[in-house]
Structure 1
Amino acid sequence: MSPRTPLDTVKHAAATPDVQQPFRELGMTEDEYRRVRSILGRRPTGSELAMYSVMWSEHCSYKSSKVHLKQFGDKAPASDALLVGIGEQAGVVDVGQGYAVTFKVESHNHPSYVEPYQGAATGIGGIVRDIIAMGARPVAVMDPLRFGAADHPDTARVVHGVVAGIGGYGNCLGLPNIGGEVVFDPCYQGNPLVNALCVGVMRHEDIHLAKASGAGNKVILYGARTGGDGIGGASILASETFDSDKPSKRPAVQVGDPFQEKLLIECTLEAFAEKLVVGIQDLGAAGLSCATSELASNGTGGMRVDLSTVPLRDHTLSPEEILMSESQERMCAVVTPENAERFLAICEKWDVTATVIGEVTDGERLEIYWHGELIVDVPPRTVAHDGPVYHRPMARPGWLDALQADTPDRLARPRTGDELREQVLALVSSPNQADKSWITSQYDKYVLGNTVLAQPEDSGMLRIDEETGLGVALATDGNGRYAKLDPYAGAQLALAEAYRNVAATGARPLAVTDCLNFPSPEDPAGMWQFAEACRGLADACRTLGTPVAGGNVSLYNQTGDVGIHPTPVVGVLGVIDDVARRTPMAFAEDGQMIYLLGDTREEFGGSAWTDVVHGHLGGLPPAVDLERERLLAEILINASRDGMIDAAHDLSDGGLVQALVESCLKGGRGARIVVPDGLPAFTFLFSESTGRAVVAVPRSEEVRFTGMCEARGMPATRIGVIDGDSLDVQGEFSLPLTELREAHTRTIPALFGHTRHA
């Protein structure tokens, strides 16, 4: 940091304009540093430089992405359900009966490669605090994950650490993990994606926002003491690519304490219940720099803080380090003077350290003191919201034409029933399509007693109201292979699959959260991919009527000059009036008819079959038909509500055969399947055409169900019956469920189940 002999106060900074400052080491460009000097009319103090550097980082300021993210607001569909949208810590949706649900997904990618256990654990902790800060009780988490090649020597280290971190933190908090994804691909080898979603529930009147209003109101820091862990961690680390020659780009990862967070949750909710809180902000990336500047910026005045009152674990920390520390389990509340004593008493009851560190002023500045000396004097909005905005150069990558021209048409297809059988087994036992129970069994799915559906169902589902059965469903999806071939379509396909997964359980999709994981924005090709994905997602949300309620951008996901596949992960939240009417995926009753909804076409670009059988990526992804997705959702929701179907499963990665295998194994029932006339068995089984689902219809409901589909113009083809103990594709092959189960379940334990990695 800058020299502090004498202490680098505002007065000292004004008197020493020529002092050299380490802005580059803190991730700032020369232009950004000059802009800070222009804003302040002098050089910044070391503490001010620390604040601007972390708050203007890519992770905190969205400086390369915000020009594209504007589309989510500009193109947002009208929605009566959206109560709080983009700009707050998490979106809030009206789900009826006076209940509101808040949900958000964020990334903790880079820290989870450096230190997998703590990186993943604190990713869960951070997203949970975002939900608390909105006024809600957290009720569940989800974890979309991407790892390197399943058989790479380093992948086990990352998988073991990440899974243990997610399970350890979430289980200790007593939050069920109800869904997510696990994908393996060499592109994530040096850069795994650890995205975490949390959902919380509250009444409408309990919504809280991050703002500091009311001159004289007290600013209270409460939770864990501040230490040296994570200084510049998420904010700086997530704004740089990994480079083995630059160890300085791998700062310390935060250390989490879920038991402290559990106390923080209960303490905060009790303070909310007593209406003690005017404004609140969690301390995540950028720590106190973020909390103080954002609270002040969002309020109606300024703020004065005494940094020397901050409770410390490490008393050697400098003011700059205290401001940058990303120590976990901390929050900042704004409380009226008359309520401050009661707020502190609640913190003491829950054994949560709490200290008044400042107050709201009627000025326009954020002023921070250190033992009586003014070390920060800034307009808070310039720190929190008016950072740099970059219109990065963009260019469609030159290699894309050749990639798209390399279609799967040239790939050898199975010619006999035996070859089909062999490739079905290869598909369902591949790491991406195999059963993930080894991972998900390490998470508690049912704690709190309100989990209705959880992995491996299409969506996680939670009961919100015990009396009426009101519930919500959530699904996250994303396919980096599709997005590599076409980022515009890839983002839309991610939304379409999550939307379809929610509808398959009987819930009506309401709103979207997203985590946009991309390579370096300084690469014009990577920036083009990001811009196209944003455009695609915004256009699709408008068509489907599902506004983006909030989310996260994670850039610089690459090692050296090798980037990940562009990976937009999309979460969709839906509502169901009565969870007793939900539709599971399992084929559970012999004699029920199996129907395929939608059209099957020759669409194999980016498919699981091309990857598993041929190691190929090329062509175009499946075509997107959002109107068909909307119609399919209506069919699935109405059929579920009216009792016309007993099982439903969306078709996505692996096509129809993957869905059939999963539904048969989940219910322990076989199926006899007939290939429709005019459709090759290979295409029928492996195509990944979208807008499709497979459903099980009781014989008593068959006429009513097919009549509804016909009236609405939805193709519905009867393809078989639930029967026996094999998956029998007549005229092609038969696979006993015992053989399918062994193939489907052996892969992940064989890869990761016997060797523990620190």
Structure 2
Amino acid sequence: MSLADSDHELVVEELGREPTPAEAALFENLWSEHCAYRSSRPLLSAFESEGEQVVIGPGDDAAVVALPTDGDDDVYITMGIESHNHPSYVDPFDGAATGVGGIVRDTLSMGAYPIALADSLYFGDFDREHSKYLFEGVVEGISHYGNCIGVPTVAGSVDFHDDYEGNPLVNVACVGLTDDERLVTAEAQEPGNKLVLVGNATGRDGLGGASFASEDLAEDAETEDRPAVQVGDPYAEKLLIEANEVLIEEGLIESARDLGAAGLGGASSELVAKGGLGAHIELDRVHQREPNMNALEILLAESQERMCYEVAPENVDRVAEIAEKYDLGCSVIGEVTEGNYVCTFEESEARSASDDSTDERSESGERETVVDVDAYFLGEGAPMNDLPADEPTQPERDLPEIDLETAFEAVLSSPNTASKRWVYRQYDHEVGVRTSVGPGDDAAIVAVREANQGLAISSGAAPNWTDTAPYEGARAIALENATNVAAKGATPLAAVDCLNGGNPEKPDVYGGFTGIVDGLADMCATLETPVVGGNVSLYNDSPSGPIPPTPTLALVGTKDGYEAPPLALEPGAGDLLLVGDRGLESGDVRLGGSEYLAQFDGSDRFPALPEDPQALIETVAAVANDESTLATHDVSHGGLAVSLAEMVTGEAGLEVDIPVPAGTEAGVAGALFHEQPGRVLIQTTDADGVREAFDGVAPVHSLGTPAEDGTLSITVGDLSIDADAAKIREYRSTIAAELG
């Protein structure tokens, strides 16, 4: 890419001259879609980001949210989410691994210690070899990096859809822990403070990563764009995590920013711009791992495991001591000023690749000013795009006629609804000894003992839903994630989103993207759950076409204590109830967006959502915490059939009889496979109490008493199916059976 003509004109007008090559490249990257959100920022005002629990909202490296506590001490969590989509297509291992590293450093820059990760992954059809290659590489990259740095991956999702074949998505969220005294922001504080670079040496990897992420993937991307992908070093990141902890504990940091998109140029200019200040940086002071790097390479390289700190002059030596203790490089690269953002460079033959000294200079060297611009204009001056958008339409009804047993096996065996144990067994989800409920349940729960709170975490999207109906599907995704945490007894606290779309210059694509923004924003507002931060990734387009509009939501909720009802049924105890509308009573069961229709090439409108989602979520959380509740599980992907099958494990069994009223058009398939979210299965010893709790909120249907025979028997109308726990495990082992 290069600076667009219209942007070039604006820059020349502002500077009163032609930009230097380094300035032009810096503007190109920081004014790219990836950094400036030129096509999405006009839409993001739809989100409500404020609330009494919100300490720092959108705009920093991560959001900060206060947890409810009984005492006087403030306990905060940080929340952030990022995408590493294009890099993960070009190099799935390093692309995914460095995505983890980047979101962890965003957490560090707020003065927080990372305590949990959640990854949401999207690939092409599982039957394709290339999809499996990307899938295996991405999971390996995430597990390697996360396990090495000792941060547990506790939640997430995996989805397969044809339209991700040419452009997979890798969205990673991180939760950190901090408090009022430790809190740091990315806003420079005072002129005269030093800018100190701590971490790995700078190389040439990742050059132009921000601009690379702001264009469609080409057919030769896997070879031609490889230099734009960063290479991670998790062992250096672990050292950086621990060094950062000491720096924060000793109060040595005034502000911080991790080096991500656009490298040093992006981090340092954004840091001072947020404070309304400038900087003077000597690029040749940056410790480097490769010889003869020029100013542009030093400025824009996206080498990993690096942090930029603002440090008071009297604390610089102590910062250097701590960096040395943790075997990390440290360079005093400049200082905060009241003027422009200025970068100078001195070419010197005296410096070598192995010389990390920041003070040596060649007496004969000449210092050249390569950047001299207003930092705020650099960071905020990009004009927004005003793009046309076509209103999405929902499909007409076209329902297939399929044998019930065939449909049951096909839906349970789909990689989208099958067990993801092959994925999460590769992650260390117990490191840090905070994980109370791990992957494989509706939501993970992490113990925040500092506040005596369990933090429930759910993350994911549903490409079939938003492909069918962007607005309605995005509303459903927000409700689904909220239902996940409520089913474990937690009340939603806050959320961050990763909004993924194709080329926004295509009106139909931009229309779908607009739909997911509005849908997610509307439901989160309805649930009174502030969206406190996020990420936008556009131009996820390739020769095979655009991705489905994909609004990943990472939502957290809180509960007293750390325990939660399990997902699996307790054999021979209580009653199993379905909370929520079966759809049968109205005679209009909508199957749109369901895995059932994806398997059998049908179409339909998307299901209607509950009338009072907030009351529903609050009641689900309250009932889940009742001592009479034995098990809970939300009903969504794959419908009732999949949720029932997931609860039947070991000796627990269930016999269910679902009557289908005459004239119900969708009939048996609708009863078992429609995917309206906001429904929950509850096993309880107090069925009347559950009905009373949901009176006026949602209908409650009895499904029977769990048995001890380990068999699921479902009768729907005149049809029935039977499957024991072993057969269900066989159906649901699709991924493990294929990949080992």
Interval containing the TM-score (normalised by the shorter chain) = over 0.9
What whole-Å deviation, never above 9, does each CA across 1:342-369 have from its counterpart, x for those lacking one?
A: 11111111111111100111x2311111
SS in 2 for 1:674: strand
Q: Write out aligned runs for 1:297-696 (5 A).
A: 297-361=273-337, 363-371=338-346, 372-396=367-391, 400=393, 404-408=394-398, 410-413=399-402, 419-465=403-449, 469-560=452-543, 562-580=545-563, 582-601=564-583, 602-612=589-599, 614-616=600-602, 618-625=603-610, 627-665=611-649, 668-676=651-659, 678=661, 680-696=667-683
User: Match for residue 9 of structure 1?
Assistant: none
What whole-Å deviation, never above 9, does each CA across 1:661-683 have from its counterpart, x for those lacking one?
A: 11113x65111212146385433
249 and 34 in structure 1: CA distance in 2 versus 1, 3 angstrom threshold? farther
**Structure 2: distance between partners of 1:590 and 1:508:** 30
CA contact 1:498–1:570 (8 Å) conserved in 2: yes
What whole-Å deviation, never above 9, does each CA across 1:138-183 have from its counterpart, x for those lacking one?
A: 0111110001111112112111110100000000011111111111
CA contact 2:78–2:112 (8 Å) conserved in 1: yes
**Structure 1: distance between partners of 2:189 and 2:595:** 53
TM-score normalized with structure 2 length:
0.92
**Structure 1: distance between partners of 2:99 and 2:651:** 36
- Please state how far the C-alpha of 1:561 moved relative to its aligned partner: 6.7
SS in 2 for 1:348: helix
**Structure 2: distance between partners of 1:31 and 1:213:** 34
Residues 1:94 and 2:66 are matched in the alignment? yes
SS in 1 for 2:55: strand
* Structure 2: gaps of 5 or more residues: 347-366, 584-588
- Please state how far the C-alpha of 1:203 moved relative to its aligned partner: 1.5
The residue type equivalent to 1:440 in the other structure is Y
Residues 1:728 and 2:710 are matched in the alignment? no
The residue type equivalent to 1:607 in the other structure is S
The residue type equivalent to 1:720 in the other structure is G
SS in 2 for 1:211: coil
50 and 139 in structure 1: CA distance in 2 versus 1, 3 angstrom threshold? same
Which residue, out of 201, 205, 214, partners 1:239? 214
- Please state how far the C-alpha of 1:134 moved relative to its aligned partner: 1.1
**Structure 2: distance between partners of 1:713 and 1:623:** 16
- Please state how far the C-alpha of 1:527 moved relative to its aligned partner: 1.3
* Structure 1: gaps of 5 or more residues: 1-24, 414-418, 754-758
**Structure 2: distance between partners of 1:210 and 1:165:** 28
Which residue, out of 699, 707, 713, partners 2:692? 707
**Structure 1: distance between partners of 2:721 and 2:466:** 34
**Structure 1: distance between partners of 2:231 and 2:45:** 34
What whole-Å deviation, never above 9, does each CA across 1:457-492 have from its counterpart, x for those lacking one?
A: 1111100116x6412111112112221222111211
CA contact 1:191–1:557 (8 Å) conserved in 2: yes
- Please state how far the C-alpha of 1:300 moved relative to its aligned partner: 4.0
Residues 1:278 and 2:254 are matched in the alignment? yes
CA contact 1:141–1:175 (8 Å) conserved in 2: yes
What whole-Å deviation, never above 9, does each CA across 1:81-116 have from its counterpart, x for those lacking one?
A: 111111111111111222111112211000000000
**Structure 1: distance between partners of 2:180 and 2:81:** 21
User: Match for residue 700 of structure 2?
Assistant: 716
TM-score normalized with structure 1 length:
0.90
User: Match for residue 737 of structure 1?
Assistant: 725
What whole-Å deviation, never above 9, does each CA across 1:553-587 have from its counterpart, x for those lacking one?
A: 1111111371111111111111111113x222111
CA contact 2:472–2:606 (8 Å) conserved in 1: yes
- Please state how far the C-alpha of 1:317 moved relative to its aligned partner: 1.6
Q: Please, what is the CA RMSD of the aligned residues? A: 1.7
- Please state how far the C-alpha of 1:122 moved relative to its aligned partner: 0.3
692 and 324 in structure 1: CA distance in 2 versus 1, 3 angstrom threshold? same
CA contact 2:64–2:76 (8 Å) conserved in 1: yes
**Structure 1: distance between partners of 2:554 and 2:339:** 38
What whole-Å deviation, never above 9, does each CA across 1:395-454 have from its counterpart, x for those lacking one?
A: 236xx4xxx34313x4214xxxxx323321221111111111111111111111110112
User: Match for residue 24 of structure 2?
Assistant: 49
Which residue, out of 745, 748, 757, partners 2:735? 748
- Please state how far the C-alpha of 1:298 moved relative to its aligned partner: 1.0
308 and 77 in structure 1: CA distance in 2 versus 1, 3 angstrom threshold? closer
CA contact 2:95–2:230 (8 Å) conserved in 1: yes
Q: After the TM superposition, which of the residue ranges 483-492 and 81-90 deviates more from structure 2?
A: 483-492
206 and 190 in structure 1: CA distance in 2 versus 1, 3 angstrom threshold? same
- Please state how far the C-alpha of 1:315 moved relative to its aligned partner: 1.9
Residues 1:139 and 2:115 are matched in the alignment? yes
**Structure 1: distance between partners of 2:324 and 2:289:** 18
User: Match for residue 20 of structure 1?
Assistant: none
CA contact 2:49–2:57 (8 Å) conserved in 1: no
Residues 1:79 and 2:51 are matched in the alignment? yes
CA contact 1:310–1:355 (8 Å) conserved in 2: yes
SS in 1 for 2:569: coil
411 and 631 in structure 1: CA distance in 2 versus 1, 3 angstrom threshold? same
**Structure 1: distance between partners of 2:496 and 2:502:** 20
What whole-Å deviation, never above 9, does each CA across 1:265-298 have from its counterpart, x for those lacking one?
A: 1111111111111100000111011111101101
CA contact 2:46–2:518 (8 Å) conserved in 1: yes
**Structure 1: distance between partners of 2:441 and 2:243:** 34
User: Match for residue 15 of structure 2?
Assistant: 40
The residue type equivalent to 2:736 in the other structure is P
**Structure 1: distance between partners of 2:110 and 2:528:** 24
User: Match for residue 204 of structure 2?
Assistant: 228
Aligned residues: 702
CA contact 1:461–1:473 (8 Å) conserved in 2: yes
Q: After the TM superposition, which of the residue ranges 164-173 and 673-682 deviates more from structure 2?
A: 673-682
SS in 2 for 1:545: coil
What whole-Å deviation, never above 9, does each CA across 1:672-716 have from its counterpart, x for those lacking one?
A: 212146385433221222321111102xx2332222222x43211
394 and 498 in structure 1: CA distance in 2 versus 1, 3 angstrom threshold? same
**Structure 1: distance between partners of 2:390 and 2:19:** 36
**Structure 2: distance between partners of 1:705 and 1:606:** 30
CA contact 1:477–1:497 (8 Å) conserved in 2: no
The residue type equivalent to 1:524 in the other structure is P
The residue type equivalent to 1:412 in the other structure is E
User: Match for residue 3 of structure 1?
Assistant: none
CA contact 2:81–2:103 (8 Å) conserved in 1: yes
**Structure 2: distance between partners of 1:157 and 1:554:** 23
CA contact 1:242–1:558 (8 Å) conserved in 2: yes
CA contact 1:500–1:629 (8 Å) conserved in 2: no
**Structure 2: distance between partners of 1:285 and 1:600:** 47
**Structure 2: distance between partners of 1:491 and 1:702:** 32
**Structure 2: distance between partners of 1:172 and 1:561:** 35
What whole-Å deviation, never above 9, does each CA across 1:43-75 have from its counterpart, x for those lacking one?
A: 111111121111111101111111111222xxx
User: Match for residue 5 of structure 1?
Assistant: none
- Please state how far the C-alpha of 1:546 moved relative to its aligned partner: 0.8
